[in-house]
Amino acid sequence: MPFPESQKRRYKKTVSMAEALDMSPLLKRLGVRDGDKQMELYRRWNQVVGEGVARNTQPVRFSKGILSVTVSSAAWLHNLTMMKPQILANLAREFGEGFVKDVRLRAADFDMRQLKGD
């Protein structure tokens, strides 16, 4: 059943999807617009942590400011736990303070060399 002419709402301006997302405080709070920044985080991981660390780590998940990283061995897990403040400082410098709130490290339950293509 169509609306009577008097009840139809007319919008004066059409907005892009990006503008619509920018207008929503809820979507901003949920981080919907941070997808590009998250992808950049994965792309630039090697630069942020350095080649040696990057060879033994893989960022696997980013949610609500928490970056989960898989580490190749228990020894690397221990070393990176000690380096965590420096990693967080590097991430803050590259992506802005507070974007990455924490880094969670866990030892891989598979051979990282297969993942890295070594």
Please give the tally of structural domains in the chain.
1
The answer to whether position 108 is within a domain reads: yes
The answer to whether position 20 is within a domain reads: no
CATH number of the structural domain spanning residue 92: 3.30.300
Triad 6, 10, 11: Cα angle to 5°: 160
The answer to whether position 94 is within a domain reads: yes
pLDDT digits (tens, 9 = 90+) for 15-35: 666 666 566 666 556 555 566
Range of the domain at 53: 34-116
pLDDT-derived band at 113 (thresholds 50, 70, 90) equals low
pLDDT digits (tens, 9 = 90+) for 48-103: 999 999 999 999 999 889 999 999 999 999 999 999 999 999 999 999 999 999 99
Closest CA to 59 of 90, 23, 26, 14: 90
pLDDT-derived band at 109 (thresholds 50, 70, 90) equals confident
How far apart CA 2 and CA 53 sit, in angstroms, is 63
The two tokens of residue 104 are: 């969670």
Answer whether 48's CB lies under 8 Å from 87's CB.
yes
The answer to whether position 47 is within a domain reads: yes
The answer to whether position 84 is within a domain reads: yes
DSSP H or E segment with residue 69: strand 66-71
Summary mean pLDDT of the chain: 81
The answer to whether position 63 is within a domain reads: yes
Closest CA to 87 of 35, 39, 77, 108: 77
Top-confidence residue, 94 or 109: 94
Triad 23, 25, 28: Cα angle to 5°: 95
